[in-house]
Amino acid sequence: MEHIRLPKVENVRLLDRVSPRRSRVGTLYLTATHTIFVENEMKGPDIHVEDCLVCSVEKQAATASGCSLLVRCKNFQVLHFVVPRERECHDVHLSLQRLSQPERCEELYCFSYKPNVDEAERRQEWDFLDLKADYSRMGLPNSLWKFSPVNQHYKVSDTYPADLFVPQSATPPVIVGSSKFRSRGRFPTLSYYSKENHAAICRSSQPLSGFSARCLEDEQMLEAILRSNPRSDFMYVVDTRPKLNAIANRAAGKGYENEDNYSNIKFQFIGIENIHVMRNSQQKMLEVCELRSPSMSDFLEGLESSGWLKHIKAVLDAGIFIAKAVAEEGVSVLVHCSDGWDRTAQVCSVASVLLDPHYRTLRGLMVLIEKDWVSFGHKFSHRCNHLVGDPKEVSPAIDQFLESVWQLMEQFPCAFEFNARFLITIHSHVYSCQYGNFIGNNQRERVELRLRERTHSLWSYLWKNQTDYINPLYRPDHSQTQGLLRPSTAPYCFKSWRGLYNRFDPGMHPRQSVEDYLSAIQEETQQLEEQLASHKQVEKGYKRINSKFLLKKTQSTCSCYRGCTILSDLGLANTPQDYTGCFVTSSPCQPKAPDGSLVLLTQDSNLSNGSDQESGIADVSCRSPLSEDSTRDPDSDEAAYSAA
Amino acid sequence: MEFAELIKTPRVDGVILHRPFMPTVEGTLCLTGHHLILSSRQDNAEELWLLHSNIDSIEKRFVGSLGSIIVKCKDLRVIQLDIPGMEECFNIASSVEALSTLDILSLMYPFFYRPMFEVIEDGWNSFLPEDAFKDLETMTDEWRLSDVNKDCTVCPSYPPLVAVPKDVDDDTLRKVATFRHSGRFPVLSYYHKKNGMVMMRAGQPLTGTNGRRCKEDEKLINATLRPGKRGYIIDTRTINLAQQAKARGGGFESEGYVESIKSNILQESLIKLVEASNWQTHVKEILTTACLAAQCIDREGASVLVHGTEGTDSTLQVTSLAQIILDPACRTIRGFQGLVEREWLQAGHPFHHRCAQSAFSNSKPRQEAPVFLLFLDCVWQILRQFPCSFEFSESFLVLVFDHAYASQFGTFLGNSTAERAKLSLPEKTVSLWSWVNRPQELERLTNPLYEANSLVIWPSVAPQSLLLWEGVFLRWNRSSKCLDEAYEEMVHIIEYNKELQNKVNSLRRQLAQLETEDPLLQTLE
């Protein structure tokens, strides 16, 4: 609380991002966990933003109307406040900046988030996902792969999980020796194993090979992985970096495997750029998404030059290469990049999604993120900037994974049990720090922070609310659901994900959602099925003996069904956008209408600045109600318009 | 003229057909007067039937004695035919080239096509102006149907009957016609029932450089306005084009206009579809202008006059899209047919000129432009944003696109009602609507998600909201298997729901009956 210089500011204006002429006036509250905007007269919904979600706060020069404060959030919400007095703006600015960048872990929201859940239940939340269960689902341990306690207490690699699977023939000396030859001690270990053909995906960090160094144990380790796939006489080693980056690492005593030193490996580079390139690319892409009424070419050219979709394609291409090697060739793959916690995590998890239908279910995706990202030490705290830290450590690696899954969902609409809302919710909570799952950089840190004892788990929250996240088109027995996904990676297959990056611009999204419609239908179908069953029961009852009780029971279900009008929430109170703002302005002209009552629609700049009352259309857009809320009653919306 | 003169080699065996995402087919290639046919001569094997009028361009390639022709179609399909024998290949190519560029309307396929289906309702009579006017009369008495153009001399591109303000007589109309490009005097395009506002369309006024005025023109436009109400004129051109037009004696009412499209730019954008940005720019601009027109009518309570240069291209895009936005009736299958009839065919969009060639053609006559396709794309964009508000599905829009460019039906032949009458199309050809308006076709084209929505629908024109119409532009370049499966799944979910509803209802009726019939139950009560 000591960081809040000013807990409350009145008469703050919140400007609409798309058409700044629309604004809402209200009070801004700063609290230790949230920033809250409450509109005067309670017209619109309050806006709550977790302080941890604030990415940057920018104070602009004061003007006559006040001082602008631009708050950008990690979930891509942009809030433009105008604070009446500069002094207040200054205080809000400093407070928010401090609140959004805690110095100590204990300040994070998850330690103060206390939902109404008793302790026993809270502990159960953390038992919801069990990684060992996922390994046994894969059929492990077996005669080829064994559980290894070598990294208990994080002694071999402090960024690896304690529980690992290694080839049956890998002895502790071999593992320890290999780990000494790998960056951060991240030795080759199992990520995914295919029961059907014994091919496996393994992951590690880069070898410390420099220009000529060798390590017998590391060579033995790869040999052991190869031997754990009895049907195959070679394995792939995939370096996900661009070749140039890998070569540059050799000068620092790191690098990549020499094919001559390892028996029967095929070495392959897959050029995924590093975290710095990705960070800049996303920044550029977000700037494009944030443009105010851009032209089509502004948008498309900006998107193209950000390179974002090219990078998504690179991640997906790498995943496809590995998935095909495993499923079609039956060949095991060792994947690494530099440290093996960003690109390697992306590529292994994308390959798993492509390979195994289980990872396309709600529970499966959670397990996958828990395994390939959380347990294998993706540095969430650094990459998501949970605490004040080095801005060069920040990178959207997990965003890219979630987007890769979304791109796949666009191509295979029936193959995933979850919907896009599920991915967006996960994204949001990776950054919000409301749950303990993504705090810290690795398992060791999380154990030290005693997160399992002190915080709540996102996974069980998602599971409890699973009805919100189910894709109505998913059917476990659908042909699209089965086996390996073979996506197309032609450039036109990659689309801009407005659902995530323009999530807070409701005007840009379809006004009717096919998915919600189908979900409502399915819910109704379920009720009908129940009713049918009970009707049949009554019918049987009639045949046996007429029973009034049974009849009454069905009648009550009937009325419950009638009360459920599935389409009522699909009301369409949408309002026109600012269509005039899109026009290029030119020099003003004097309308010489043949008759006083006739006015030409001119290209005049008056159209967009709203000052020309004469033309009568200048304020068309600002009169339209601000909210595009589709759940509002259409009639009331119309009424509000005519009253204005 | 005999087609036989043009067909040098009517038949070649051992031809191999290559299509993207499909297995190759080997068979016999036949040329007829109107079709290119490839048949493998096996039972239930796929055949290719391609209308010559669908062929946009043709290329020959020779490797040794094996020749290939690459056929690029107006529906954006590209196929390759490997033809054994140099001479055969050469003959086929030149025949196809000659047949596909034959510019004699009376030799087109619709004049030879005989329907193999029962015509339930003759589409040629389904959407007559007099019927549309009867509907208008139920809402207002301020308009009349004028036959000033009955012999198509006042305005060659207008139909014989047009709706004009009641107080304006035919002499005034004749005078106004001389002041408007191509005689296209302002006529009623749409009447907004909710507030009585109207949308009119016209050709550009011929004000010239000295700002000529026309009393009658002003009178006509003012007659559409209510006392004390203002109206808007939307000029769909860019400033430069309008100024050039003015120098040539055309012009605009005064120095104002709304930014919009130039149809000559459209010609190129389809070719550069790879980047798609230019095309999408036009989509955005046209949609924006249409939204603006709709906004003036519905939100501002003002009447609108729309014109471009001739009033046969961008004008029609704007007026027809505005109606899709405003009028729920236009979002039904039948209503959309009516809209295409009223705002495109009867309004004189020169389909024959505009659709003569498509994206792949090398020769580019100035007259052609994918104006109608751009309109359909905009409709698709709105459909994507309001997937439950249209009675028709995407496949209906694709069907209309296909038939506008090449068809066995006469609907899109000719440039105007007058030309169509001269060719006796209603007597000699079958209407597309006769085929569409049959239960089995309607079922295929119906949107399973449709729930009648009586509201105005305001689409988003943000670049993020506008997508590439893959169903047309990538139709032949991608495998749509997974998307088709998703569609089937959706249909299945909805149909299963309906089936259950019926079952529950019938059971409920049975139970009610049992209840009344059963004496035991009554005694229990």
| Predicted ipTM of the assembly | 0.89
Check CB contact of A419 with chain B, cutoff 8 Å: no
Check CB contact of A408 with chain B, cutoff 8 Å: no
What's the pLDDT score for residue B250? 45
Say yes or no to pLDDT of B473 above 80. Answer: yes
Do residues A219 and A261 lie in contact, with contact meaning Cβ atoms separated by under 8 Å?
yes
Instruction: List the single range of A269-283, A326-340, B27-41 with lowest mean pLDDT.
Output: B27-41
Chain B residue numbers with beta carbons less than 8 Å from the beta carbon of A570 are 388, 451
- Residue A622 bears catalytic tag: no
Tens of pLDDT along A347-403?
999 999 999 999 999 999 999 999 999 999 999 999 999 999 999 999 999 999 999
Q: Is B464 exposed, middle or buried (0-12, 13-18, 19+ CB in 10 A)?
A: buried
Q: What does the alpha-carbon distance between residue A122 and residue B470 come to, in Å, rounded to a whole number?
A: 48
Predicted confidence band of residue A491 (pLDDT cuts 50, 70, 90): confident
Q: Is the pTM of this model over 0.80?
A: yes
Closest residue of A to B221, CA-based? A598
Tens of pLDDT along B286-344?
999 999 999 999 998 888 999 888 888 999 999 999 999 999 999 999 999 999 999 99
Q: Are strands B11-18 and A333-336 parallel, antiparallel or unpaired?
A: unpaired
What's the pLDDT score for residue B515? 76
DSSP-assigned letter for residue A65: T
| β partners of residue B199 | B190, B304
Q: How much is the average pLDDT of B503-515? A: 86
Say yes or no to pLDDT of A321 above 50. Answer: yes
Of the candidates B218, B281, B511, which has its C-beta nearest A535's C-beta? B511
More confident residue, A547 or B176: B176
Tens of pLDDT along B265-282?
333 333 344 344 478 888
Predicted confidence band of residue B370 (pLDDT cuts 50, 70, 90): confident
Q: Are strands A34-39 and A47-50 parallel, antiparallel or unpaired?
A: antiparallel
Q: Looking at chain A from residue 18 to 47, which residues have their Cβ under 8 Å from any Cβ of chain B?
A: 18
Chain A residue numbers with beta carbons less than 8 Å from the beta carbon of B288 are 579, 582-583
Q: Looking at chain A from residue 257 to 316, which residues have their Cβ under 8 Å from any Cβ of chain B?
A: 289, 293-301
First to last CA, chain B: 88
Q: What does the alpha-carbon distance between residue A307 and residue A315 come to, in Å, rounded to a whole number?
A: 13
Chain A residue numbers with beta carbons less than 8 Å from the beta carbon of B517 are none
Do residues A548 and B422 lie in contact, with contact meaning Cβ atoms separated by under 8 Å?
no
Angle between helices A275-290 and A296-306 (to 10 degrees): 170
Q: What does the alpha-carbon distance between residue B415 and residue B494 come to, in Å, rounded to a whole number?
A: 42
Say yes or no to pLDDT of B65 above 80. Answer: no
What's the pLDDT score for residue A623? 27
Distances (CA, A) of A406 to A373, A398, A516: 17, 12, 17
Nearest to B324 by CA among B392, B270, B245, B229: B392
What's the pLDDT score for residue A577? 72
CA distance B254 to chain A (A): 6
Tens of pLDDT along A225-262?
999 999 999 999 999 999 999 999 999 999 999 999 99
Stretch (H or E) spanning A29 = strand A23-30
What's the pLDDT score for residue B264? 30
More confident residue, A607 or A328: A328
Q: Which of A52, A73, A202, A337 is catalytic?
A: A337
- Integer-rounded Cα Rg, in Å, for chain B is 26
Predicted confidence band of residue B31 (pLDDT cuts 50, 70, 90): very high
- State percent of chain B over pLDDT 70: 87
Tens of pLDDT along B115-152?
999 888 999 999 999 999 999 999 999 999 999 999 99
Closest residue of B to A475, CA-based? B489
A-to-B residue pairs, Cβ atoms closer than 8 angstroms:
259
Q: How much is the average pLDDT of B162-174? A: 94
Cis peptide before A141 (omega within 30 of 0): yes
Of the candidates A301, A473, A521, which has its C-beta nearest B486's C-beta? A473
Say yes or no to pLDDT of B386 above 60. Answer: yes
Q: Which residues, in sequence order, are CB contacts of A129 under 8 Å at separation 6+?
A: A363, A366, A367, A370, A457, A459
What's the pLDDT score for residue B519? 59
Do residues B465 and B67 lie in contact, with contact meaning Cβ atoms separated by under 8 Å?
no
Q: How much is the average pLDDT of A68-76? A: 95
Chain B residue numbers with beta carbons less than 8 Å from the beta carbon of A525 are 493, 496-497, 500
CA distance A427 to chain B (A): 20
Q: How much is the average pLDDT of B82-107? A: 91
Answer yes or no: do B257 and A412 touch at CB < 8 A. Answer: no
Which of B394, B482, B488, B507 to mutate to probe the A interface, most A CBs <10 Å? B482
Predicted confidence band of residue B262 (pLDDT cuts 50, 70, 90): very low
Instruction: List the single range of A268-282, B202-216, B400-414 with lowest mean pLDDT.
Output: B202-216
Predicted confidence band of residue B258 (pLDDT cuts 50, 70, 90): very low
Closest residue of A to B252, CA-based? A600
Say yes or no to pLDDT of A24 above 70. Answer: yes
Predicted confidence band of residue B101 (pLDDT cuts 50, 70, 90): confident
